[in-house]
Chain A
């Protein structure tokens, strides 16, 4: 978590992983994957919405040494 900062906005994107997509957060400056979203209710709904064209962003609300917490919101068109 050395290359991101508290309050930083990240792009939420899909990454193909075998048969199931993973939801990843990317740094806006260079598109580098910071981490993934996993292990919560509604993840598959989020994937479905993204596949239908909805776009999301994430803001870092808590930053630890090795992990961070993000708040994900839908981007308005």
Chain B
């Protein structure tokens, strides 16, 4: 496999993460076993160039690095937060020229790759993939796109057909986060591919691994697009359970698929009496709505300005309209604990985030069937997956 993709410093506050990966290096490492001898073409800050070459070598791969003057980093508060690119405005470099039988092309922030391939997979990594694959002179006999749902501008069949026309692609795989992916090909009905459940969810880079696995299975092995996308979905699930690289050649078949495609209606329970608490509630609400999940948030729907009885009645009325509860248990706020108990009495599933709450405080939660996790992204994904 030939990969053209960026190599950047990645930083995350929690869980703590400080590594050099980016789409290009991560995809390369991911394919170490599935496509031995994978070659990465990338730009990188000059001082990192040898770090990257040794890193690729550790996976039996080769990194061809074009050195640049600027270190580029992507910072996250947590794996579901928006990435902040530093520097904000990046100087563009002359394009890389890449040729191969099968090429996986990621978009770069600091340049571009002109690809010539028999089969190419293009992951534009942008909310606005306006520039067609061939606009920079790239040519592929067969082309597949791998897009996020927002890149697919709604993901409707008409919009996808427009994108296929624009890129002159034969198919597009639209990733739908915790709900899996949809494979769109011309003149055929879309095929849904499920997400697969994992014990933990480290989300940074999961899309890179999905694209890499799809490129290997569709581009190199010539598998049916839906089969390749299903294997890519399984590979991503394997990866996110602890940033596990490389992905295995034979992927587990016993993985549990995610059923359903909407996540239900979720009650966001947690204290909001100081800035850190409010920030957490906002983060949870934003993460859930970004996946298209409907929420009831007492902070936003009811607030704090009403008499006690009115607040309690409105909050609990909202809770009764929900099918699941996300709870922030840190601090053991009495109101939140009450809401959790109320939900469990109604048989409503609860996934609770408790990063630093002592185990003795969790007895009733665990004992009544709540799932209690220590990681924010995992709590959001497990909640959406909960039945």
Contacts and interface: CB of A to CB of B under 8 A. Distances in A.
Given A39-B19, A44-B51, A21 B57 contact: yes
Interface string A8-40: 000000000111111110000000000011111
**What band does the interface of chain B fall in when counting residues whose beta carbon is under 8 Å from A?**
20 to 34
Interface residues of A, number: 22
A53 interface: no
A21 B53 CA distance: 9
Contacts of A37: 58
Nearest to A35: B58
Contacts of B58: 17, 22-24, 36-38
A43 B18 contact: no
Contact of B54 (A20, A64, A67): A20
Contacts of A22: 54, 57-58
A18 B241 contact: no
Contacts of B18: 40
Interface in A20-75: 20-24, 36-44, 47, 64-67
B215 interface: no
Contacts of B19: 39-40
Nearest to B22: A39
B325 to A, nearest CB: 28
Nearest to A68: B242
Interface in B1-30: 9, 18-21, 25, 29
B242 A67 contact: yes
Interface string B346-379: 0000000000000000000000000000000000
Nearest to B9: A41
B27 to A, nearest CB: 12
A43 B47 CA distance: 11
Interface of A: 17-24, 36-44, 47, 64-67
Pairs A-B, 4 closest by C-beta atoms: A44-B50, A36-B58, A17-B57, A38-B55
Interface of B: 9, 18-21, 25, 29, 47-48, 50-51, 53-60, 62, 241-244
